[in-house]
Chains A and B, each alone.
Chain A
Amino acid sequence: MATLITGAGLIGRLTAEMLAARGERVVLADIRDPGASGLAFVHCDVTDAAALDAVVRRHGVRRIVHTAAMLSTGIRANPARGVAVNVVGTTQVLDCARRLGLGRVVCASSTTVGYTMFGSHDAAPIEEDLPMRMLGERPASLYAASKIAGEHLGLLYHDLYGVDVVMLRYAAVLGGGGPASSVPGRLLEQLATGGRSGVPVVLDDPFVLWAGREEFVDARDCARANLAALDAAAPVQRVYNVATGDWCSLDEFIATMRAVFPRLQVSVPRPSTTGFAGFPHLRPAPSDTRLAAAELGFRAQHNLGDTIAYWCRAGHSG
């Protein structure tokens, strides 16, 4: 039995490595080869149903971890392609599982699905079933919209066709040692470069700033959550937050970076008055992680300091 990992980005590669390390057969699929990873790689576009079916049949795939997606920056640059990859691609993965009668399908979602509720939300922490009750709220970003669509599609494929779907909402993911395509990855890279070189950092990209506090999660924890979601015996809620339960301000984030890089100097010419990544509202609370613990047996292992030290000090490239 093999597990197909769609998306050879950081979380996809880490997930594949962790599965391979425990002796499982994995197939990593993407439209670009990540290079010498030592993992079985196939070229496959998730929007192509026939290509997905062929990979599943050829490699004896029984389970899927679907991480292939375009991130917010990529979607802003090419909205139609973003929706095709995130919404149609997710549908094709789910439909492949339906047609071929596969087992568990774990889909990567995002805590951004709940960000537009932050302005009117008074409960703490942010519940794991929140967006299922918020159809009337406009998601404020195409990325969040595509992830909300993915969650609904996943749950419907479970309800209507019995596809064994688990959706994981990652908090802002930190990790990788090289050029980053994600918003939190860019922040980490910019501060780490300043910390290593001593050249003062000017944080002037409004997307990497935030007012109030935001939550972050280590990419290694996301990969561990994927494994926990593959293994979970009886998931009921089927949508879970992958977060630490902790949150921090930009100043606290920079202070944590400075613990690793004492030479780090940062200036913020125009401090943000909004939430993270350009979302309008400030985060009112961290995400609830109790259901992930209870139903998946997953708890994040890495706090922010640990995450930053691992990915920056050792220069891991993921």
Chain B
Amino acid sequence: MIIRSAVLEGTVAEADRAGFDAHMQTSVLQAIGTYPGIIEVRLRRPVEQEAGAPPVYMVFDLYFADLAAMHAALASETRQQVRSKIAEAMPRFQGKVYHLIMQEG
């Protein structure tokens, strides 16, 4: 099992937060769920911050059977649709986005 995590590290202004979160929890999550070959997608948000930890705002975890399935999904047309959904919200986000590709065990 491969888990590709999209980490949003940064902040969203207090006034924009509800709208930004709702967009991520519905439109973006739904668009990611249409990736061919994806098994599951989960959205995680920090509940507590410990000293020294980066300021992570939210994390999308995309589950794939293997690396080939992940690369096929990212090479599909769906990626543009996901990117455009994310792009709608990104002006409200200050920070950086990076990806971690990991496996269980």
Instruction: Give per-residue flags for A180-201: 1 if the beta carbon is below 8 A from chain B beta carbons, else 0.
Output: 0000000001001111111100
Known: A178-B76, A196-B41. A315 touches B36 (CB 8 A): yes
Which chain A residues lie closer than 8 Å to B2 at the CB level? Answer: none
Residues of chain A in range 170-216 having any CB-CB distance to chain B below 8 Å: 177-179, 189, 192-199
Is B21's beta carbon under 8 Å from chain A?
no
Are the C-beta atoms of A199 and B76 separated by less than 8 Å? no
Are the C-beta atoms of A197 and B37 separated by less than 8 Å? no
Which chain A residues lie closer than 8 Å to B78 at the CB level? Answer: 178
A47 to B5, CA, bound (A): 48
From A179, A197, A314, B29 is in contact (CB under 8 Å) with: A197
A199 to B33, CA, bound (A): 9
Are the C-beta atoms of B39 and A197 separated by less than 8 Å? no
Interface size on B, residues (CB 8 A): 20
Are the C-beta atoms of B36 and A193 separated by less than 8 Å? no
From B34, B64, B72, A193 is in contact (CB under 8 Å) with: B34
Instruction: Give per-residue flags for A10-38: 1 if the beta carbon is below 8 A from chain B beta carbons, else 0.
Output: 00000000000000000000000000000
Are the C-beta atoms of A194 and B37 separated by less than 8 Å? no
Are the C-beta atoms of B26 and A315 separated by less than 8 Å? no
A193 to B82, CA, bound (A): 13
Are the C-beta atoms of A177 and B33 separated by less than 8 Å? no
A53 to B96, CA, bound (A): 58
Instruction: Indicate the size class of the contact surface on chain A.
Output: 10 to 19
Is A158's beta carbon under 8 Å from chain B?
no
Residues of chain B in range 1-54 having any CB-CB distance to chain A below 8 Å: 25-26, 29-30, 32-34, 36-42
From B30, B36, B37, B38, A199 is in contact (CB under 8 Å) with: B30
Are the C-beta atoms of B26 and A317 separated by less than 8 Å? no
Is B69's beta carbon under 8 Å from chain A?
yes
Is B102's beta carbon under 8 Å from chain A?
no
Which chain A residues lie closer than 8 Å to B39 at the CB level? Answer: 196, 313, 315
Are the C-beta atoms of A315 and B33 separated by less than 8 Å? no
Are the C-beta atoms of B30 and A193 separated by less than 8 Å? yes
Which chain B residues lie closer than 8 Å to A196 at the CB level? Answer: 33, 38-41
Are the C-beta atoms of B65 and A315 separated by less than 8 Å? yes
Closest to A193 in B: B33
Closest to B60 in A: A197
A198 to B36, CA, bound (A): 16
Closest to B76 in A: A178
A199 to B28, CA, bound (A): 10
From A177, A194, A195, A313, B36 is in contact (CB under 8 Å) with: A177
Closest to B69 in A: A315
A178 to B26, CA, bound (A): 19
State how many angstroms separate the Cβ of A55 from the closest Cβ of chain B.
28
From B25, B33, B38, B64, A194 is in contact (CB under 8 Å) with: B33
Which chain A residues lie closer than 8 Å to B69 at the CB level? Answer: 315
8 A-B residue contacts at CB 8 Å?
Answer: A193-B34, A195-B33, A197-B30, A198-B29, A199-B29, A315-B39, A316-B37, A317-B36
Interface contacts beyond A178-B34, A196-B39, A315-B36: sample of 7 additional A-B pairs, CB < 8 Å, sorted by A:
A178-B76, A193-B30, A196-B40, A197-B33, A198-B41, A198-B42, A199-B33
Closest 7 CB pairs of A and B: A197-B33, A315-B37, A196-B33, A193-B33, A197-B29, A317-B36, A199-B30
